[in-house]
């Protein structure tokens, strides 16, 4: 069973964003210890796993935005016209007109 165009588009955007978030997570936390994080001069008070999880989802959200913007910039004028064009108002069908 082939995925539909929406599922393919979501994977084209989501998978590279996921990989980018993984790389960012590894790079950032290779240099920063989550236990040393502070907010407004006080210890953050989160467990290491909570910091890792929150950071991963933040990195993933930023990467999703970048991938989505890239996919939008990749579209040509014909693609944009097709996406923004509204279907014409449907007239009465053959069975809906009055018979006289």
> How do residues 48-84 score in pLDDT, each as one tens digit?
999 999 999 999 999 999 999 998 888 888 777 776 6
Taking the model in full, what pTM does it have?
Answer: 0.70
Answer whether residue 5 shows pLDDT above 70: yes
- Spatial distance between the Cα atoms of 93 and 30, rounded to a whole number of angstroms: 66
pLDDT of residue 83: 63
């Amino acid at each position: 069973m082939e995925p539909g165009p929406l599922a393919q588009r979501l994977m084209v955007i989501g998978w590279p964003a996921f990989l980018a978030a993984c790389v960012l997570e590894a790079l950032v936390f290779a240099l920063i210890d989550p236990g040393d994080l502070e907010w407004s001069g006080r210890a953050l008070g989160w467990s290491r796993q909570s910091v890792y999880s929150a950071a991963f989802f933040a990195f993933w959200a930023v990467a999703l935005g970048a991938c989505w913007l890239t996919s939008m910039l990749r579209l040509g004028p014909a693609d944009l016209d097709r996406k923004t064009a509204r279907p014409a108002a449907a007239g009465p069908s053959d069975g809906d007109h009055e018979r006289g």
